Amino acid sequence: MATQDADIFDDMRHRLITGEFGYGTKLRAEKLRQDYNCSASTVREVLFRLSTVGLVDFQEQRGFKSPYQSVERQHELTHMRILLETEGACLSIRLGGVEWESRLTAAHHKLSHIETRVRSSGDLIPLLGLWSRAEQEFHETLIDACGSGLLKRTHVVIYEQFRQQLVSAETNYGYFPENIREHQAILDAALQRNEDLMRVCVNDHLARNLTRPLPRKSYPDAFGKSSAI
Amino acid sequence: MATQDADIFDDMRHRLITGEFGYGTKLRAEKLRQDYNCSASTVREVLFRLSTVGLVDFQEQRGFKSPYQSVERQHELTHMRILLETEGACLSIRLGGVEWESRLTAAHHKLSHIETRVRSSGDLIPLLGLWSRAEQEFHETLIDACGSGLLKRTHVVIYEQFRQQLVSAETNYGYFPENIREHQAILDAALQRNEDLMRVCVNDHLARNLTRPLPRKSYPDAFGKSSAI
DNA sequence: TACGCTCAAAATTTCGAAAATCAAAGAAAA
DNA sequence: TTTTCTTTGATTTTCGAAATTTTGAGCGTA
């Protein structure tokens, strides 16, 4: 049986990612202790762990908070996702076999099905949970054959913070109608094993979350080719 | 005054990075409790935190270990460093001003001084502590003007695990005579603000730690230009 | 010898409270 | 009125021990 610690950790992570606590809300140890009917140290332990994966802010002698939402933060997380996912996807193209293609196709099919339902109903909310899981699954499968467990673990950490930053109505939960076309384009690039195209597709897909463009090269490339970022 | 927790965390991190515990050694809570004359929970808290930054391995109901050394792990860490440092250095070139150039030059000067002493004496060991700090300082300054706190924090986490993997005589502590020339080349690329050259220099410098090459593109680039990785 | 079982020792997880620290409200001084 | 100091209440940090789980040695059986 799993340890209590681990259960509380998972549950708290889920609550944080789905935005149950508002941005910048203080996480009172006493309140959580009651929620889970456990001791103070257990709560503290869990909150510490969550703080090192960026889902909780910790300040010495001042306790724990759910992180603030900020354009700055969204920008940095998006940038990092682009960096990790383009790299991971391109490596998967180089290293992954037909088995990887197959899993990616399956993940895309599931996601595509949900996004089509969202489009026809025009309302994301009732499908938000399903969609979130499918979206994460698709993006994780995309980089799954990259050959680096470290890259994949790092990506999960960044992805979850990214999701946490976007779980409010104002930011549209990170959902856009263009997703359908863009996810399809990413799948196509994977099946064509075209790395340059993949970089462009992933970049376009994620850059939608930016309010200002990423910095471009400070001088023109000798070949006029756009850089990866 | 800093909290006891934080002090122990910093000290343990230092001990782990400098390889005081052997690879794969069990970290006994009771032993550490005595070392620091504190309670078991405090030790546990610290070890949990260290485990989420990869300096300690944690297994449910089985406690904490110093991580194993493996070629696989070194490979993945090197790969990740290349990814983060090329990106960070190129962004610094785009965004950093003369103030950044100046700090990088200063960091290089300090590092260069130490590496010259190592070369003439032929013995790294007495200067290992100094060199390590200077090396880290140089590489962190390199990406310091990248504009993303997230990228910098992620890099520190990766860098420290990388260092931890190399702190034994067999791996030469990650030191090579070629360092002098390579660090100089990186500085030059920065001052020339040449991003393509920077990618090549950083790549060459770090790839030295690899026992097998990184996967190349699966088909020739249209322009015959080598990719970032 | 090999395999499985039981039981005790060792280690980990969880607890609840004491000690230390911070924050807010109110009193005193400028 | 504004500023500084003090007290009190709330929160965080640290502790040491109880409860739980794993480890491994010893024993019996195929």
Residues B35-52: pLDDT tens digits? 999 999 999 999 999 998
The token duo for B207 is: 């790839």
Q: Domain holding A182: CATH number?
A: 1.20.120.530
Residue A161's pLDDT is what? 97
Nearest CA distance, B120 vs chain A (angstrom): 38
Residues B155 and B172 reside in one and the same domain:
yes
Residues A10 and A116 reside in one and the same domain:
no
CA angle A192, A108, A212 (to 5 degrees): 85
Residues B29 and B53 reside in one and the same domain:
yes
Q: Domain holding B15: CATH number?
A: 1.10.10.10
Residues A37 and A86 reside in one and the same domain:
no
Question: Does residue A219 fall inside a structural domain?
Answer: no
Quick check: B79 and A222 CB within 8 A? Answer: no
CA-based nearest residue in chain A for residue B73: A150
d(CA B130, CA B200) in angstroms, rounded, equals 27
Residues B59 and B84 reside in one and the same domain:
no
Whether residue A82 is predicted with pLDDT greater than 80 in this model: the reply is yes
Could you count the other beta carbons within 10 Å of the beta carbon of residue B124?
19
Q: Cβ neighbours of residue B119 under 8 Å, at least 6 residues apart?
A: B177, B180
Nearest CA distance, A101 vs chain B (angstrom): 15
B61 touches A at CB < 8 Å: yes
Residues A75 and A183 reside in one and the same domain:
yes
Residues B140 and B36 reside in one and the same domain:
no
Residues B78 and B99 reside in one and the same domain:
yes
Residues B75 and B149 reside in one and the same domain:
yes
Higher pLDDT, A187 or B4: A187
CA-based nearest residue in chain B for residue A48: B49
Question: Does residue B203 fall inside a structural domain?
Answer: yes
Q: Which residues in chain A have Cβ-Cβ distances shorter than 8 Å to B216? A: 94
Question: Does residue A20 fall inside a structural domain?
Answer: yes
Dump pLDDT digits (tens) for A158-175: 999 999 999 988 888 888
Dump pLDDT digits (tens) for A12-35: 999 999 999 999 999 999 999 999
Residue A212's pLDDT is what? 66
Residues B202 and B120 reside in one and the same domain:
yes
Question: Does residue A117 fall inside a structural domain?
Answer: yes
Dump pLDDT digits (tens) for A146-158: 999 999 999 999 9
Residues B88 and B111 reside in one and the same domain:
yes
Residue B213's pLDDT is what? 64
Whether residue A176 is predicted with pLDDT greater than 90 in this model: the reply is no
Residue B218's pLDDT is what? 52
Question: Does residue B191 fall inside a structural domain?
Answer: yes
Place of tokens 């895309």: A108
Q: Domain containing A37: what range?
A: 4-65
Question: What value does the mean pLDDT of chain A take?
Answer: 91
Question: Nucleotide C22: nearest residue by CA–C1'?
Answer: A61
Task: Determine the average pLDDT of the residues in B20-40.
Answer: 93
Structural domains of chain A, count: 2
Kindly indicate the confidence band of residue B223, based on its pLDDT and cuts at 50, 70 and 90: very low
Question: Does residue B225 fall inside a structural domain?
Answer: no
Quick check: A223 and B219 CB within 8 A? Answer: no
Residue B221's pLDDT is what? 41
Nearest CA distance, B9 vs chain A (angstrom): 12
d(CA B38, CA B90) in angstroms, rounded, equals 45
Residues B76 and B60 reside in one and the same domain:
no
Question: What value does the mean pLDDT of chain B take?
Answer: 91
Dump pLDDT digits (tens) for A202-227: 999 999 888 766 676 654 343 333 33
Q: Which residues lie near nucleic chain D, judged by CB under 7 A?
A: A 1, 26, 28-30, 40-41, 44, 60-64; B 3-5, 37-42, 45, 61-62
The Å distance, CA of B3 to C1' of C29, is 34
